[in-house]
Amino acid sequence: MAQLRFTLLCVAALCAGGCGSGDEPEDTGAPGTGATSASQGSSGTGGNGQGGTGGGAATTTVVVNEISAKDGDWIELGNPGPGSADLGGFGLCDANETGQCNTSDALTFPEGTQLAPGEYLLVLGDQAVEDGFGPHTTCLPVGGPSSCFYVTWKVSASRGETVSLISPNDQVLTQLEYPIEAAADGQTWGRLPDLTGEGTVTAPTPGAANAAP
């Protein structure tokens, strides 16, 4: 009996260092405890961000570059490069009552929508829903590019809004905030330096590089 008790004590001491399943940790489903944790993309106000379709990450160099909320409602996107950007399936949205992207009214760019380095894309706001997203050839009455897209919503100068470019699965990739009453009549809110800077008061330059007023 004494010898049996001694044997059991020895076995217990050996199992204190781990028995049965080798050195592999237990899979509890929590990150860092044996389970595989998927990486999460981040969103923000810069030019690059991560979304994801089909398990991959969606990225873009395109930025929301200029917003006109007075004297005509339009948004300009621009591609600082260095490569061409494919916007097919990506979207553009304003903010809802909670400040989040209003995906229900978001513009979805059709397949084949390309933006070369240094190129701009114009989106007109406050358009009829039956006209569709486009692209359209009826754009601004004076100046601007000959091709544009339409959205039904417009940016509120009195309330202030954020316009966001989103991935095909609605992840915010880049955005530009139009502060409350940010610009006076005849002015816009855009990035200076063009395509890379922070938002500030600018002269209206739809389809061209931003400039100080």
Q: What pTM, to 2 d.p., does this model score?
A: 0.74
Q: What is the mean pLDDT of residues 24-51?
A: 33
Q: What is the mean pLDDT of residues 12-39?
A: 35
**What pLDDT, on the 0 to 100 scale, is given for residue 58?**
84
Q: What is the mean pLDDT of residues 134-138?
A: 97
Distance CA 210, CA 192 (A): 7
Does 18 have pLDDT greater than 60? Answer: no
DSSP-derived 3-state class of residue 181? coil
DSSP letter for 39, please: P
What phi, psi does 7 have (nearest 5°)? -65, -45
Distance CA 136, CA 146 (A): 8
**What pLDDT, on the 0 to 100 scale, is given for residue 56?**
59
Q: What is the mean pLDDT of residues 148-165?
A: 97
Distance CA 175, CA 173 (A): 7
Q: What is the pLDDT of residues 46-98, one digit of tens each?
A: 333 333 344 457 889 999 999 999 989 999 999 999 999 999 999 999 999 89
Q: Note the residue count of the chain.
A: 213
Q: What is the mean pLDDT of the chain?
A: 81
When pLDDT is cut at 50, 70 and 90, the band that residue 15 belongs to is very low
Q: Can you name the CATH fold of 63-202? A: Immunoglobulin-like (2.60.40)
* Domain boundaries along the sequence of the chain: 63-202
Percentage with pLDDT > 90 across the chain: 69
Distance CA 12, CA 125 (A): 74
Q: What is the pLDDT of residues 177-204, one digit of tens each?
A: 999 999 999 999 999 999 999 999 999 9
Distance CA 119, CA 14 (A): 69
Dihedral Cα 121, 123, 129, 130, nearest 10 deg: -40
Distance CA 122, CA 105 (A): 17
Distance CA 154, CA 143 (A): 20
**What pLDDT, on the 0 to 100 scale, is given for residue 57?**
75
Distance CA 66, CA 71 (A): 14
Q: Which of 2, 11, 25, 48 is nearest to 165 (CA)?
A: 48
Q: What is the mean pLDDT of residues 21-47?
A: 33
